[in-house]
Amino acid sequence: MSIQAIIDRAASDPDFLTRLARDPNGTVEAEGYDVELGELKAALDMPNASEHEIAEALQQRLSHSSGVSASLANTSAG
């Protein structure tokens, strides 16, 4: 599965998005997606980003493109 598949699922599955925000790498692995964190960083053009920064970037992109509530950004704050 591709990074686009992860993004599509996150846009349509609020539970998945919440888990992705909390633990991007763990969620991707647990769901059986064959994507390395480095690939995700490259796709987002954020090669030096932390997992937290990746989660925030995904949330921002998804909330702008799909109307997902910005309040989900607080789920990654821990």
- In this structure, what DSSP letter does residue 45 have? T
The whole domain housing 51 covers 3-64
The total domain count for the chain is: 1
> Could you tell me which residue, 61 or 75, shows the higher pLDDT?
61
Predicted model pTM: 0.57
Any domain includes 33: yes
Any domain includes 46: yes
Output phi, psi for 2, to 5 deg.
-105, 170
pLDDT tens for 7-26 read 888 889 989 988 888 888 88
- In this structure, what DSSP letter does residue 77 have? G
Closest Cα to residue 3, out of 50, 52, 47, 36?
Answer: 36
Q: Give the DSSP per-residue string, 23-40.
A: -HHHHHHHTT----HHHH
Is 37:75 a contact under the CB 8 Å cutoff? Answer: no
